[in-house]
């Protein structure tokens, strides 16, 4: 189990993953301050964007997006 945790941390800290994490934080914070547009609507709007991504990148982006909002 500890190996799986280390593998997950290594996947998130992948240099190709970090731009998606930063983009998710920026978009989540931006949407969080807008009245009337919640995280559920943002996830629905950005779903076509992440559809073509690697599943690990897409899930990390969506999780960071919802956590930052």
Percent of the chain with pLDDT over 70: 100
pTM above 0.85, yes or no: no
Structural domains of the chain, count? 1
Domain that holds residue 26: 2-68
| pLDDT the model gives residue 6 | 92
Residue 62 has pLDDT above 80, yes or no: yes
58 dihedral zone (left: phi>0; alpha: psi -120 to 50; beta): alpha
| pLDDT the model gives residue 40 | 86
Residue 69 has pLDDT above 80, yes or no: no
| pLDDT the model gives residue 17 | 84
């Amino acid at each position: 189990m500890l190996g799986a945790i280390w593998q997950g941390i290594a996947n998130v800290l992948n240099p190709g993953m970090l731009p998606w994490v930063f983009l998710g934080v920026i978009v989540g914070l931006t949407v969080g301050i807008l009245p009337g547009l919640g995280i559920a609507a943002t996830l629905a709007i950005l779903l076509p964007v992440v559809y073509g991504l690697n599943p690990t990148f897409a899930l990390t982006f969506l999780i960071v997006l919802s956590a930052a909002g």
